[in-house]
Amino acid sequence: MQSACSQYGARHVVSREDVYKCALSLYTNDRDAILDEYPFRIKFKTELAVDSGGVSRDFCSAFWESAYEKAFDGNTLLTPALHSGINMDSLAVIGTILSHMYLAVGFIPVRIAFPSLACILFHPNISIPSEFMVEAFVDSLSTHERDSMRSAVNICNEGGHFSDQVRQQLAAILSRYGGRSIPSANNLKSSILLAAKYEFVIKPCAALNMIHSGIPSKHSPFWEKLSIYEFHSLYLALTASPEKVISLLDDSLADDVNKERVFRYLCQFVGNMTNDELRSFLRYVTGASVCPPATMKVTFNSLTGITRRPISHTCACQLELSVDYSTYLEFVVEFRTVLHTSESWFMDAM
């Protein structure tokens, strides 16, 4: 069960079961009023929590999880996609939501590939540094292909040569993006740049333009004064990795052997998470499926039996754990059960 502090009211009530539709309706019918709201507060129907930050962050996360399915395509990293079932007008509203959610809540949907996101927020014709394009392309590949591509890029940087096996592996990857030749160490980066430009800019061009058209004119001065390098730093800061999330866990209250043991279980658990699990964990603790700007406090209780479970306080980015766990496996099984149980995501003030 998540909880959020009960300090502030909210003008907007939405259904958790249909967050995407509710968000599009809010930003269409009440657009001007919402764009002037800082902070922006939300209430979920039937849930007791009153928003002091955690609920609105969860609203952002829930909206984008649904938007990814309805208006984007890809695997590790996503790009906007047009298809027969999409409402074209909704793409412009997504642009409005994207810009406002960052300015109001500090949320950027980092599952969208950086070049595509930069085109949306700045301009579809923006010049994106080649190193960012290469980085995004490599990060968009599957784990096995990513490792092969990174090894090949390192060989290029060191002035080496590819074996026939490496060249065949690279050709198989790049052929999916229009590559028609076997790459060499001399032309690999240029081949990656062509593939990245096609995948992140050219193919989704129409959708990028539609979403960009929804960026509110009053927000333009903010995005215009932000350099592409500053935006890239922001993007990286919000992108989670196991090492980064572990570094944000505050162990200052783990002041005895039992608390230290459970805190070690937590760090081991986070260290073994996939990207999807990391996003779920962060959303459970903070409301947002991106890295928070500050530490996440870990506190402890003595709950046992059926009352024992991880408890999050999203308004304070705080995770409360029982000291009753005696093995790592016991801890992991219970935490995963919480993250995969729908009732865990209902927010109730405590």
> What share of residues in the chain are helix, strand, coil (percent, to 5)?
55, 10, 35
Whether 6 has a pLDDT exceeding 50, the answer reads: no
Q: Hey, what CATH topology would domain 242-345 get?
A: Hect, E3 ligase catalytic fold (3.30.2410)
pLDDT digits 0-9 by tens, 169-202 = 899 999 888 877 788 888 899 999 999 999 999 9
Mean pLDDT of 10-35: 89
Mean pLDDT of the chain: 91
CATH 3.90.1750.10 in the chain: give the residue spans: 2-125+205-235
pLDDT digits 0-9 by tens, 111-157 = 999 999 999 999 989 999 999 999 999 999 998 899 989 999 899 88
CATH 3.30.2410.10 in the chain: give the residue spans: 242-345
Question: Which residues, listed in sequence order, are joined to residue 20 by a DSSP beta bridge?
Answer: none
CB 248 within 8 A of CB 296: yes
Under CATH, domain 2-125+205-235 is a member of which superfamily?
Hect, E3 ligase catalytic domains (3.90.1750.10)
Would you call 143 exposed, middle or buried from its count of C-beta atoms within 10 A (0-12, 13-18, 19+)?
exposed
